[in-house]
Structure 1
Amino acid sequence: MKFIQFFALALLLAASQITLADTASEKEAAELMEAVGMKSALEQSMEQMLDVQINNNPSLAPFRSVMLTFFKKYMSYESLKPDIIRIYADAFTAQELKDIRDFYGSKTGQKAIKLMPQLMRQGGEIGAKRVQAHIGELEAMIKAEAERLKKEAK
């Protein structure tokens, strides 16, 4: 009987440590999101992605405000915050999240936060130019695959 009580107590203590660890990680993840300015970064990113889509398909331009309203409703930081915190808390320990937050609190980390949107945009432009330069090859590959699938279906 004492063994069962000891085992039950051990399980209870282990479970409470897991809960404390999750809570600590979630707290650190929330503080990290605040430190890196996740809300403004997400909002800025959302508008940039929408503008890229409109630039790629100008027929969407008249619907920009409608699409922005939709994205703000379902893709806003406030609506995504619990999920974002959870994925960071699952991926990193509380100490790791604190270390990341400390980095972003540093001068170099602040510079990284400031430059990241510009660097991501520039990287996206490089990728788009690379695809555009070789679009004929992609079209030929798609055409060949469509023909292969058509033959295979017969």
Structure 2
Amino acid sequence: MKVLRASVLIAFLGLVPAVYASSEAEIQAEMLLESMEMEALMHHSISQMMDLQLQQNPELLPYKDVMMQFFSTYMSWNSLKPEFIKMYSTEFTAAELREINKFYATDTGKKTIEKMPTLMNQGAQIGMARVQANMGELVAMIKAEEERLQMLAK
């Protein structure tokens, strides 16, 4: 019986460092990502990306399930979460992340989280419209650069 208790205690003590291995910044980063509802956001982004790809390339429609399986494996929240935690905990201190978490717990913070995907989508649309409106200039700039590079090659 003493051997069993000792084994359980040793096993438990072996797990304790793993529980406390995360830095305070990593813990705060994980809390932030949860408050930002990053898992749902990632799922929504993957769906939107897939829909956009299929609209632009209808010939991919027969491969939709395969593509979703791929994205679910490599772009899922579970597969990316550790890297996102590391990214946020590297860029922000634990104290900064606590402040951000406090903000996101407010009504304004919650509204920011709620509105952010819509705002990002609108921003992307504005950017795409600007590029399309000025595409002629980009094509002319590329053509001029191509001619310049050809002249240098001679």
The TM-score bracket by the shorter chain reads: 0.7 to 0.9
Measured against aligned partners, the alpha-carbon deviations of 1:8-59 in whole angstroms (never above 9, x if no partner) come to xxxxxxxxxxxx8961111111111111111111111222233334434444
Distance 1:55 1:142 in 2: 27
2:126 is aligned to 126
Scaled by the length of structure 2, the TM-score of the pair is: 0.78
Give the alignment of 1:1-154 within 5 angstroms.
23-154=23-154
CA contact (8 A) 1:43 1:76 kept: yes
Number of residue pairs matched? 135
| Segment drifting more, 104-113 vs 49-58 | 49-58
Pick which of 59-68 and 136-145 moved more.
Answer: 59-68
Structure 1 counterpart of 2:102, which letter? Answer: D
78-87 or 68-77, which moves further after superposition? 68-77
Stretches of 4+ aligned residues off by more than 6 angstroms = none
Say what the alpha-carbon RMSD is for the aligned residues: 2.0
Closer, same or farther: CA 105–52 of 1 in aligned 2, 3 Å: same
Superimposed CA distance per residue, residues 90-128 of structure 1 (whole angstroms, 9 cap, x where no aligned partner): 111112111111111111111111111111111111111
Q: Provide the rounded CA distance (Å) in 2 between the counterparts of 1:73 and 1:101.
A: 29
Question: Can you give the 5+ residue segments of structure 2 that lack an aligned partner in the other structure?
Answer: 1-19
Identity, % of aligned positions: 49
Report the alpha carbon displacement of residue 86 of structure 1 after superposing the two structures with TM: 0.7
Q: Which amino acid aligns with 1:139?
A: V
Q: Unaligned 5+ residue runs, structure 1?
A: 1-19
Which residue of 2 is the match for residue 4 of structure 1? none
